[in-house]
Structure 1
Amino acid sequence: MSRIVIIGGGPAGYEAALVAAQLDADVTIVEAEGAGGACVLSDCVPSKTFIASSQVVTGYRDSEEFGVDSEGMEGVTVDARAVHERVKRLALAQSSDIHNKLIKAGVTMVAGTARLGENTLGHTHRVLVAPADGGEEYSIAADTVLIATGATPRVLPTAVPDGERILTWRQVYDLPMLPKHLIVIGSGVTGAEFASSYLAMGIEVTLVSSRERVMPHEDADAAMAIERVFRSRGMRILNNSRASAVRRTEKGVEVELADGSTVAGSHALMAVGSVPNTTGLGLAEYGVEVKPGGYVAVDRVSRTNVPGIYAAGDCTGVLPLASVAAMQGRIAMWHTLGEAVAPLRLRTVAANVFTDPELATVGVSQDEVNSGRAQARVVMLPLDGNARAKMDGLADGFIKLFCRPLSGQVIGGVVVAPKASELILPITLAVENHMTVDQLAHTITIYPSLSGSITEAARQLMLHELE
């Protein structure tokens, strides 16, 4: 029986464990925080639960247009303690569900931290475990070790979080009250999501963006559309502004920008990226290659340069998505246990930004088309012409579809809409299964529905092909 030790119980670790257990391996997970790791307990699950509360508030916006007198946003109050308690309760419930699922599958769960020990003859790896209860360190022998330790919020030396006024995204749920004026530093995915959700809750928000637009790595049309929505709802966005320091003041915080100007607020949320949790794992001593920034170097089947040592998830820097982490972990187990496995394909991975509206993407990007790195025909179809969008009062958003110039094969798409995370699936299926715009166009959709705009975009591309 193969012996597998997994360091880290997040999506990469627990999904890998379930696969390995299903293939009759002896599996042990070493995790300090609890099943699901930081993703479930302090990152992805809590943030999306928090966003869900903001979406309830959003439902009261412009309700008079629908003939419903709800006194508007002025009549809505948000109980921070209740919101935060729900966030934590659901995170713990999800962690418990994962824990029970792992135990039922036969996985051994160890509370603690671990590092690589000695590489013995026959490539049996020794993993040194430090129990969370402070007990004596001991070792576990493994045929395969999967490093799945994730990442943690980046801390700037001039803006050290204190958990009270200067915060990481893991600390906001401990606030007794919602901020009066939140300054979000960093306009990437995390910064945009929190800025959007706090704005929806009626909080004054200033977003400090070091680039010309928010979410600079996303589709430009989509990011600019969402930025327009942010501004129209009252968010102050400081483009081309870099925060050089954050200081506590008597009443809140002061953010100093690189040009010497300052912005005052009640709280500051630091959303300036993450760093991999790879220190203290004994990687260098073991000979495991580590890339600049501390990320573990892996190939497309999650192997490191040391036989029997695999890595998956945010600690690899491949793509910081829970879905990708989970697939990396599964691929690692299928590979080490001799199952047929296809290498990781990022081209068909869908990603979503949980702003309001959401932004979802898959496959080829507009930037690749504009630069000539990809050849494609493109259609962008605004949602304001969609019947269901009109009924729901949706004026913002669009569907964008990319296809190969000659064959019409669907190679990418962008959706800006409520629940874009759901609407991107048909496009993802088309990309994954090499479907053409003709096939997509001939698919009958519900009327009225937002998904109808996907097939309409395909029909427009099909018509272009016939011209």
Structure 2
Amino acid sequence: MTKKNNTTPPAPKTKPVYDYDAIIIGSGPGGEGASMNLSKRGQRVAVIERHSDVGGGCTHWGTIPSKALRHSVSRLIDFNNNPLFVEGFHKPRTWTFDQILKQAASVVTKQTRMRTGFYNRNDVNVFHGNAEFVDNHTIKVVSESGIETITADKILVASGSRPYRPQNIDFDHPRVYDSDTILSLTHHPRHIIIYGAGVIGCEYASIFRGLDCKVTLIDSRERLLSFLDVEISDALSYHLRSSGVMIRHNETYASVEGTDDGVVVQFESGKRLKADALLFANGRTGNTDTLQLDKVGLKANHRGQLEVNEHYQTDVDNIYAVGDVIGYPSLASAAYDQGRIAADAMVDGKAEAKLIGNIPTGIYTIPEISSVGKTEQELTAAKVPYEIGQAHFSSLARAQIANAGVGCLKLLFHRETKQILGIHCFGVNASEILHIGQAIMEQEGEANTIEYFIRTTFNYPTMAEAYRVAALNGLNRLF
């Protein structure tokens, strides 16, 4: 006779109940891309934004205001250089920095309203305050009105970045600025020193010089924007210098001293410069230092960035990260795509989609720069047999009509296959013109060749016609 087993089987494990399926820290491009995709996929989503309005640094301090400033200054330069408008005027029209800020502010307001509507229409709850990890499923939101704790199955860090601030520079001094605080500039400097000749530094050098300020641009390297094709980089240097920008290469500051009426910068080379203001634009750091990452076993590197895998997953399985907090490419456009891809991974466990291999770069100097694919120096180092096709804007009817003859389109293509390997554009609307070539470059097989631009018909006169001119120029070089 067998003995009955009266042992009660263990109860099945119940899945934890969370307030949300996903919490997104940050409402910039990466956070927005993730939250919209998650919402469309039926997830309950909360977004935490430390600023009083959504949009992140991209909308309020970075991309949108700086490009709005640049556009206004570019139109002012066009006006002052156009014989149709300046005839009869004895001196050029001028604006002050605070005057053009008003136009930028109106754009920021429109963008904020639009993005607020995105969250409202998609039933995404937005919490305003600073986010802090309690554990890997719990976030504490600290605001002026108090502390609120929310939980989620998955968490995405999309907190963006901020300007790097060395400790030996007093950024509280009223004449010392970074790329965020420069938007609060109320006086119009006669002379500004811009320390850091990266993308942000070069863009602001164009802006201030266009407002008739004396500009000294300090570069710690031998060449401006060394990641660009050499010819494009050289063209930028030439046009900045011809506009009146003083560029000093291979310089490193030793000290910065704020005075009652300006700033004195002492360099390690022994040089000493004085100006009305200093814009320090030398690097950025990820906004991770206040997140209490140690509570979940994560650690950012010295630049405040987190390591992720191909699905944007950190070392903690349910925590993901996108955008500036993971480093390259640190572009708003890429961050948005990263957010959408990470959202798929958060729901499905993995993401099939990937960022495109050739990510375009837009640099809003005056003139504008945009590029995608390989540079000449990269192709030469890899021993790839390539040829060049160029179209100078000065020869295009549309550019002549618009008085926009400065610049060129440069195509790099394989000598045998004629495959497009790189596209580089310098001049008016470069970031728009580039996308025509990028679309062809992304095609497969024979569709991705320079001959496409010979076979197709372009509207005339247009700036897009530069592709046909450049393609013919390149093919004529073959033998």
Cα 1:148–1:421, aligned 2, differ >3 Å: closer, same or farther? same
Cα distance between partner residues in 1 of 2:325 and 2:384 = 29
1:156-235, aligned counterparts within 5 Å? 156-162=166-172, 164-235=174-245
Cα 1:22–1:451, aligned 2, differ >3 Å: closer, same or farther? same
Cα distance between partner residues in 2 of 1:411 and 1:370 = 12
Cα distance between partner residues in 1 of 2:389 and 2:37 = 40
Alignment pair present for 1:258 and 2:268: yes
2:79 is paired with a residue of what secondary structure? coil
1:437 is paired with a residue of what secondary structure? coil
Cα 1:70–1:329, aligned 2, differ >3 Å: closer, same or farther? farther
Cα 1:291–1:373, aligned 2, differ >3 Å: closer, same or farther? farther
Cα 1:446–1:104, aligned 2, differ >3 Å: closer, same or farther? same
Cα distance between partner residues in 1 of 2:173 and 2:77 = 27
Read off the aligned partner of 2:57 and give its amino acid letter: A
Cα distance between partner residues in 2 of 1:91 and 1:420 = 23
Which of residues 280, 286, 304 is equivalent to 1:294?
Answer: 304
Q: Which residue of 2 aligns with 1:454?
A: 467
Q: Which residue of 1 aligns with 2:139?
A: 127
In 2, are the aligned partners of 1:63 and 1:70 still within 8 Å (CA)? no
- State the 1:406 CA deviation: 2.6
Which of residues 126, 134, 149 is equivalent to 1:117?
Answer: 134
In 2, are the aligned partners of 1:412 and 1:427 still within 8 Å (CA)? no
Which of residues 123, 142, 157 is equivalent to 1:106?
Answer: 123
In 1, are the aligned partners of 2:265 and 2:274 still within 8 Å (CA)? yes
Q: Which residue of 2 aligns with 1:89?
A: 106
- State the 1:70 CA deviation: 5.7
1:143 is paired with a residue of what secondary structure? strand
1:59 is paired with a residue of what secondary structure? helix
In 2, are the aligned partners of 1:363 and 1:413 still within 8 Å (CA)? yes
In 1, are the aligned partners of 2:86 and 2:92 still within 8 Å (CA)? no
Which of residues 440, 455, 477 is equivalent to 1:442?
Answer: 455
Moved more, 248-257 or 277-286: 277-286
Q: Which residue of 2 aligns with 1:22?
A: 40
Alignment pair present for 1:345 and 2:348: no
- Structure 2 unmatched ranges of 5 or more: 1-17
The Cα offsets for residues 71-120 of structure 1, whole Å up to 9 and x where unpaired, read as 27x3312144332233233213312220121111110000012122224x
- State the 1:205 CA deviation: 0.9
In 2, are the aligned partners of 1:284 and 1:290 still within 8 Å (CA)? no
Cα distance between partner residues in 2 of 1:287 and 1:340 = 22
Which of residues 317, 338, 354 is equivalent to 2:364?
Answer: 354
Query: How many residue pairs end up in the alignment?
Result: 457
TM-score by length of 2: 0.90
Cα distance between partner residues in 2 of 1:289 and 1:454 = 47
Read off the aligned partner of 2:39 and give its amino acid letter: A
Q: Which residue of 1 aligns with 2:424?
A: 414
- State the 1:346 CA deviation: 5.1
Cα distance between partner residues in 2 of 1:106 and 1:428 = 35
The Cα offsets for residues 122-151 of structure 1, whole Å up to 9 and x where unpaired, read as xxx222222x2241342x221211100100
Cα distance between partner residues in 1 of 2:278 and 2:78 = 27
In 1, are the aligned partners of 2:61 and 2:183 still within 8 Å (CA)? no
The Cα offsets for residues 140-176 of structure 1, whole Å up to 9 and x where unpaired, read as 2212111001000011223232362111121222222
Moved more, 345-354 or 221-230: 345-354
Which of residues 400, 423, 436 is equivalent to 2:410?
Answer: 400
What is the aligned-residue RMSD (CA, Å)? 2.2
Read off the aligned partner of 2:140 and give its amino acid letter: L
1:232-381, aligned counterparts within 5 Å? 232-288=242-298, 290-338=300-348, 341-345=351-355, 347-372=357-382, 376-381=386-391
Alignment pair present for 1:11 and 2:22: no
- State the 1:295 CA deviation: 0.9
Q: Which residue of 2 aligns with 1:383?
A: 393
- State the 1:206 CA deviation: 1.0
- State the 1:67 CA deviation: 7.5
Cα distance between partner residues in 2 of 1:380 and 1:289 = 47
Cα distance between partner residues in 1 of 2:46 and 2:127 = 7
Moved more, 27-36 or 338-347: 338-347
Moved more, 88-97 or 198-207: 88-97
Cα distance between partner residues in 2 of 1:70 and 1:77 = 16
Moved over 6 A (4+): none
Which of residues 81, 90, 95 is equivalent to 1:62?
Answer: 81
1:205 is paired with a residue of what secondary structure? strand
- Structure 1 unmatched ranges of 5 or more: 120-124
TM-score by length of 1: 0.92
Read off the aligned partner of 1:98 and give its amino acid letter: R
Q: Which residue of 1 aligns with 2:68?
A: 49
Cα distance between partner residues in 1 of 2:304 and 2:370 = 29
- State the 1:449 CA deviation: 2.0
Cα distance between partner residues in 1 of 2:348 and 2:355 = 19
- State the 1:303 CA deviation: 1.6
Cα distance between partner residues in 1 of 2:271 and 2:94 = 33
Cα 1:376–1:335, aligned 2, differ >3 Å: closer, same or farther? farther
1:172 is paired with a residue of what secondary structure? helix
Cα distance between partner residues in 2 of 1:153 and 1:46 = 15
In 1, are the aligned partners of 2:284 and 2:303 still within 8 Å (CA)? no
Alignment pair present for 1:146 and 2:169: no
In 1, are the aligned partners of 2:338 and 2:355 still within 8 Å (CA)? no
1:207 is paired with a residue of what secondary structure? strand
Cα distance between partner residues in 1 of 2:349 and 2:467 = 37
Higher Rg: 2
Which of residues 136, 142, 154 is equivalent to 2:147?
Answer: 136
In 2, are the aligned partners of 1:301 and 1:343 still within 8 Å (CA)? no
In 2, are the aligned partners of 1:208 and 1:239 still within 8 Å (CA)? yes
